[in-house]
Amino acid sequence: MEVSKKNWDVIVIGTGPSGALIARELSRSGKNVLILEKGKLDYSIHIPKMLRKKEMMFVGKGRTLVRGIRTGGSSVLYYGAAFEPPHELFSKYGIQLVNEVEELKKELPIGPLRNEFIGPAARKLMECAIDLGYNWVKLDKFVYQDLPMTTSFPFAVQWNAVEFVEDAVESGATLLNGAGVNQVILNGNKAIGVKYRVDGQPEQEAYAPKIVLSAGGLGSAQILQNSGIIQAGEGFFCDPLILVHGVMKGIEGGTEIPMGTGMVESKEGFVLTDITLPKLVYQLFSIQALRSHRVFDYHKTISIMVKIKDELGGSIKNNGKIHKNFTEIDKQRMQKGYAIAKEILNHAGAKRVFRTAWTSAHPGGSVRIGELVDSNLQTAYKNLYVCDCSVIPTAWGLPPTLTLLALAKRLAKSLLNGE
Ligand SMILES: Cc1cc2nc3c(=O)[nH]c(=O)nc-3n(C[C@H](O)[C@H](O)[C@H](O)COP(=O)(O)OP(=O)(O)OC[C@H]3O[C@@H](n4cnc5c(N)ncnc54)[C@H](O)[C@@H]3O)c2cc1C
């Protein structure tokens, strides 16, 4: 098919939760949708390949950042925690997401895990945290609890955005994999198309009256820079996290659904949850933390994740360079969360507790609402919209997927209403 000659109604760039949902809603309503996705369908966790594809990179000394360049975006790698958007924050920008969240909750498997799916480590942590006076509760998850549960890391029972991509294609959307978008084509102040390259072939063009960038917190900022919006990527957050591991008898480490329970300290700016990692990831973090001897402890490890809200800062460059210096406030937050994690693990009787280096998995805030996009998520260029983690307007600190889906639902409605 000649992609460049076809009359598309909308081009969607990226198939993470936001792009996939927009493509699905628009194609279901009869729009001619072209989806350009840089990655391909891939469920593997192969660290050298992830480094090569820039799915894993360094944002500072020894501090990694992970995202998905694949169909379904980062949701293929995510841990399925579903956090309600901070509605008050979005109200300040004239954005109401309550109805969209309600609609999503009716459609997707969102809710707390049934008791039988809370594993022994998570149960122990919850019991000990409550005993110490912390508000440790069950968290909402994107998990199909009626599917047979596996005893390995449970990616297979989590909802992810590939489902929406498949729905979009079934409804008539065209998905082009391996298609990396470099730049938006402009006519005066209006976006009219995009330039993209498939697997290193010569650059091609596709045209549509509406363009939606959903290339993620890094990707959308880079495409905008290439398109003349040079402020994109000046300042971002990444919600850094550490893992605090201890060993304990009677724990079947590696067999639990992660992030089923936890505590949210919004004022303090951190979240603590139980966590189970895929074995290889646990082993790599142990080696990075100079605990090579702990790689064999996987099945007796009990762990807490400490994730903080980092301040906006650093920069994302269109030459691929991502840099961020974390502030003293960020470091103090992490230290406070770590102290609580250690206290809970010690109370649980865990031994040989250690923490990993900082990593992060939510790059965003790089194309902020109120600065580079308006409350309809439109940029300074007419007909060019951005909808993904990059538009979050402030420092964040929460798993963002439910918020991104709600923003995408809202944008899809407004595009269909011709607003
Ligand atoms: C290990 C891990 C665990 C996580 N756990 C949770 C969790 O429990 N709960 C939660 O809510 N969130 C979690 N997240 C975060 C969540 O997955 C992301 O915040 C969310 O997927 C971001 O959605 P997005 O649409 O902004 O971008 P992404 O999902 O990153 O999608 C961007 C898409 O754009 C494509 N793309 C990029 N550049 C280009 C280009 N130039 N041209 C074409 N396509 C391009 C990418 O391939 C990708 O498909 C986790 C993330 C990771 C990595």
**Which residues have CB under 8 Å from 388's CB, separation 6+?**
14, 16, 18, 19, 213, 214, 215, 216, 217, 219, 220, 364, 404
Pocket test for ligand 1, best of 15, 54, 74 (most atoms within 8 A of CB): 74
CA–centroid distance, 184 to ligand 1, in Å, is 21
Which segment of 243-247, 297-301, 360-364 scores lowest on mean pLDDT? 297-301
* Residue 330 exposure: Cα atoms within 13 Å on the Cβ side: 20
pLDDT in tens, 173-199: 999 999 999 999 999 999 999 999 998
Q: Which atom of ligand 1 is nearest to the CA of 66?
A: 53
Burial environment of residue 266 by CB neighbours within 10 A (0 to 12, 13 to 18, 19 or more): exposed
User: What is the structure's pLDDT at 254?
Assistant: 81
User: With 80 as the cut, is the pLDDT of residue 2 above it?
Assistant: no
User: What is the structure's pLDDT at 106?
Assistant: 98
The mean pLDDT value for 100-104 works out to: 98
Q: Which of 123, 212, 142 is nearest to 410 (CA)?
A: 212
For residue 62, the 8-state DSSP code is: T
User: With 80 as the cut, is the pLDDT of residue 295 above it?
Assistant: yes
- Per-residue confidence band for 1, with pLDDT thresholds at 50, 70 and 90: low
CA–centroid distance, 216 to ligand 1, in Å, is 6
* pTM confidence score: 0.97
CA angle 64, 387, 367 (to 5 degrees): 60
Q: Which atom of ligand 1 is nearest to the CA of 390?
A: 26
Question: Percent of the chain scored above 70 by pLDDT?
Answer: 98
Q: Which of 132, 141, 70 is nearest to 105 (CA)?
A: 141
E strands, 39-166, in order: 56-60, 63-66, 110-112, 137-138, 140-142
CA–centroid distance, 269 to ligand 1, in Å, is 22
CA gap 25, 27 in Å, rounded: 6
- List phi, psi (to 5°) of 134: -90, 150
CA–centroid distance, 128 to ligand 1, in Å, is 33
77 CB near ligand 1 (under 6 Å): yes
CA gap 239, 95 in Å, rounded: 23
Q: Which of 406, 294, 269 is nearest to 356 (CA)?
A: 294
List, in sequence order, the alpha helices (H) in 17-149.
17-28, 47-52, 87-91, 98-107, 120-131
Q: Which of 6, 23, 5 is nearest to 14 (CA)?
A: 23
User: With 90 as the cut, is the pLDDT of residue 149 above it?
Assistant: no
273 CB near ligand 1 (under 6 Å): no
307 CB near ligand 1 (under 6 Å): no
- Per-residue confidence band for 419, with pLDDT thresholds at 50, 70 and 90: low
User: What is the structure's pLDDT at 342?
Assistant: 98
- Per-residue confidence band for 148, with pLDDT thresholds at 50, 70 and 90: confident
180 is written with which tokens?
A: 């990396």
Identify the bridge partners of residue 140 per DSSP, sorted by sequence position: 112
CA gap 27, 33 in Å, rounded: 6
215 CB near ligand 1 (under 6 Å): yes
User: With 90 as the cut, is the pLDDT of residue 341 above it?
Assistant: yes
- Per-residue confidence band for 99, with pLDDT thresholds at 50, 70 and 90: very high
User: What is the structure's pLDDT at 378?
Assistant: 98
CA gap 219, 230 in Å, rounded: 14
The mean pLDDT value for 127-156 works out to: 87
CA–centroid distance, 391 to ligand 1, in Å, is 13
CA gap 39, 29 in Å, rounded: 26
User: With 60 as the cut, is the pLDDT of residue 151 above it?
Assistant: no
Q: Which atom of ligand 1 is nearest to the CA of 39?
A: 47
**Which residues have CB under 8 Å from 296's CB, separation 6+?**
none
